[in-house]
Structure 1
Amino acid sequence: MSTPVTDRPVITGWSAVSPFGLGAEAFTEGLREQRSTVAPVDTARWQVPTSRAHLVPGFETREVLGKKGTRSMDRVTGLAVAAVGSLLDQPGSVKETETGERAGLVLATTTGSAASMMDFTRSSLVGDRPYDVDPAVMPNAVMNCAAGQCAIWYGIKGPNTTLAGGRAAGLLALNYATRLLASGRADAVLCAAAEEFSAARYWLERHSRGPEAPNVALGEGAAVLLVQPASAVTPDRPALADVLAVRTRVATGHQVRPALEACVRSALEAAGVAGPEVWAASPSDAPGLLGHVEREVLAEICGDAAVRRIPAVGRLGDVSAASGSFQIATVLAAAPRTGGSIALVTSADRDGSLACAVLKLRDAR
């Protein structure tokens, strides 16, 4: 059964903390100017070999968020809290509906902060006694720390969920957000995704990637979408895009291509859209062969022009769990001035998670 148009989930706002800078305006300008975001890494600070990465320029948690409550806050939490705050601080934000008892938050991640987890475990192993650890750091080692901090900072008292799904996590979070709305558990959902750069993540990626993509530079950042029922939009927060469908699959090895194709076709069928009608198709730019497969499937179904129409998320480096949310942010930033265009966003994770979302862009004027 299709969802009535008046109750269909819509995206009414977005923001980002990205390698282009802080906020939606910096992100949009960076895309428009086609700026490169890759830069040399301070190897002494990050404890990695000579390398390059896509870092949020000048991002220091205590400088961005202030000193109160941030002494022990780790980087991924700081990025997430800053992104949510940049959305809630936008003109037209309605705090009564975007925060409070009927507002929810869903945060997409890979593992939370790998750096915090490893640092806390290391302190237990190298200390004189296993319990000689800093208790203030312990919350950072829990995967849902960032989501909890976002809720505490901004008074978001509804459902609070962390989804660990690797590169597909952003679209899985969007699907979860639409289900919260459909079930009546929330009237508005902040759908966020965050990924940090750290020595721990650098070494994990270096040792776990396949040989076909050893040198893809890591990226970091956070993006957040405000998702509401279509019946709840206001002139201050007009609908930017309808979420027509989100579909998922799981497959590995030789089954990835047919499973991804089935996932995309299923999402298009649920949305009532044909492949050639897609204005822009955004792949998640997974490193190596998986990324090539993803682009080939989208080109086959939607056409080469659709795949090339908007900037690739790979411009930000490998942002992993934040990929899907940054892809949607890119679609919204690059949307045509007239409504009705269809955008398709896909994710493919090396552990087998596949996802596809179909959006109908509204008039941006």
Structure 2
Amino acid sequence: MSTALHNRRPVITGWSAVSPHGIGAQALVDGLRAQRPTGAPVDTARWRVPAGRAHLVPGFETREVLGKKGTRSMDRVTGLAVTAVGGLLEQRGSVRETETGDRAALVLATTTGSAASMMDFTRSSLEGARPYDVDPAVMPNAVMNCAAGQCAIWFGIRGPNTTLAGGRAAGLLSVNYATRLLSSGRADAVLCAAAEEFSAARYWLERHSRGAEAPDVPLGEGAAVLLIQPADAVGPERPALAEILAVRSRVATGKQVRGAFEACVRSALDAAGVRPDEVWAAVSGEAPGRLGQLERDVLGEVCGPRTLERVPAVGRLGDVSSASASFQIAILLATTSERPEAAGQVALVTSADRDGSLACAVLRLVAS
């Protein structure tokens, strides 16, 4: 592979998160280091769900975190996304011009947007005296790309604005989309985010769609965001954290999933020019039930079982669904930044969604 081609590969130069460990990247780093559990009993009166456990962002209330201006009708998933993006942009004390404006893009991974907002808005139309007796201020929340649009409005991100609905694979699909925006010259920096909220609507949708194999996996919530830039944009304020070597995806269901997932992993490794025995860490998506076990089995067979032990599992945050892959990368960066042996090593990040989407990204960690 030529040096010129290698230098054109995009890199991750920053990240932040709003997680069950708290708000901000440092909260996730500290929580992982201390191995603190994040699950807690659900307030059944507030959330209108049966007694159980969930992994919620502690004390997160949108208006308390973001202020009262512009947040009266903002739903929870939008609040989580805006908070995470703001946390990344303001890490250095001020927002850099190159990370906002006309040449900055934002890509948001999701499953459906806010299921709670969609259902609440529809319910108000059905229960009102007339179908149009609804609160117009709530209408934008029922649109899937509301969170991405609000992030752009809040921070002046005027480049391409995209919402990708892909379930658990959405985070890696958004990384691939971000690299395409950069390679085509459509943007100079891409904020690649993912967000998932906890709500009664999401709880009941998951409960009735999972089936019997993983009924008790508690839900989690949060948002994670990566800053992806061309390699030549790296500087002292935003050093490269990881190089994106390749992203590949497949679609398969039923008995074809195992073969397709292995083919996806091997295709990504081939595209990256990496042998399976060169993989240092494999970070699986921890899908609930048999699919998650299949994912781990294939990674163990292809790359070796030890690769699965080097990075904490995203499942410690609960089932964060479409935010899983972004959190997988955030956890990878959070736990390897202070480990000298990780510098220069290759990591695989994979996702498998029950609806058939499969994805794999190959990253090379960069010395801090």
TM over 0.5: yes
Q: What does 1:115-264 correspond to in 2, within 5 Å? A: 115-264=116-265
Shift of 1:274: 1.0
Distance in 1 between residues matched to 2:346 and 2:95, nearest whole Å? 28
Q: Does 1:30 align with 2:31?
A: yes
Shift of 1:92: 7.2
Partner of 1:284: 285
Q: Does 1:348 align with 2:352?
A: yes
**TM-score, length of structure 2 as denominator length:** 0.97
Q: Does 1:312 align with 2:313?
A: yes
Shift of 1:93: 6.1
**TM-score, length of structure 1 as denominator length:** 0.98
Partner of 1:51: 52
Distance in 1 between residues matched to 2:124 and 2:95, nearest whole Å? 43
Paired residue secondary structure (2:256): helix
Whether the 8 Å CA contact 1:112–1:146 is kept in 2: the answer is yes
Partner of 1:363: 367
Greater Cα shift, 5-14 or 238-247: 5-14
Shift of 1:6: 2.3
Distance in 2 between residues matched to 1:301 and 1:36, nearest whole Å? 31
Partner of 1:10: 11
Whether the 8 Å CA contact 1:92–1:236 is kept in 2: the answer is no
Q: Does 1:337 align with 2:306?
A: no
Partner of 2:83: 82
Distance in 2 between residues matched to 1:169 and 1:337, nearest whole Å? 31
AA in 1 matched with 2:184: S
Shift of 1:49: 0.6
Long gaps (5+) in structure 2: none
How many percent identity over aligned positions?
Answer: 78
Whether the 8 Å CA contact 1:92–1:237 is kept in 2: the answer is no
Paired residue secondary structure (1:334): helix
Greater Cα shift, 273-282 or 249-258: 273-282
- Deviation digits for residues 39-95 of structure 1 (CA, Å, limit 9, x no counterpart): 011000000011110000000000000000000000000000000000011027652
AA in 2 matched with 1:239: A
- Deviation digits for residues 169-213 of structure 1 (CA, Å, limit 9, x no counterpart): 000000000000000000000000000000000000000002110
Distance in 2 between residues matched to 1:320 and 1:161, nearest whole Å? 19
AA in 2 matched with 1:337: P
Paired residue secondary structure (1:157): coil
Paired residue secondary structure (2:274): coil
Paired residue secondary structure (2:175): helix
Greater Cα shift, 7-16 or 338-347: 338-347
Paired residue secondary structure (2:134): coil
Partner of 1:98: 99
Partner of 1:321: 322
Paired residue secondary structure (1:4): helix
Paired residue secondary structure (1:121): helix
Long gaps (5+) in structure 1: none
AA in 1 matched with 2:340: R
Paired residue secondary structure (2:340): coil
Distance in 1 between residues matched to 2:65 and 2:8, nearest whole Å? 37
Paired residue secondary structure (2:79): helix
Whether the 8 Å CA contact 1:168–1:348 is kept in 2: the answer is yes
AA in 2 matched with 1:204: L
Paired residue secondary structure (2:286): coil
Distance in 2 between residues matched to 1:78 and 1:204, nearest whole Å? 21
AA in 1 matched with 2:159: G
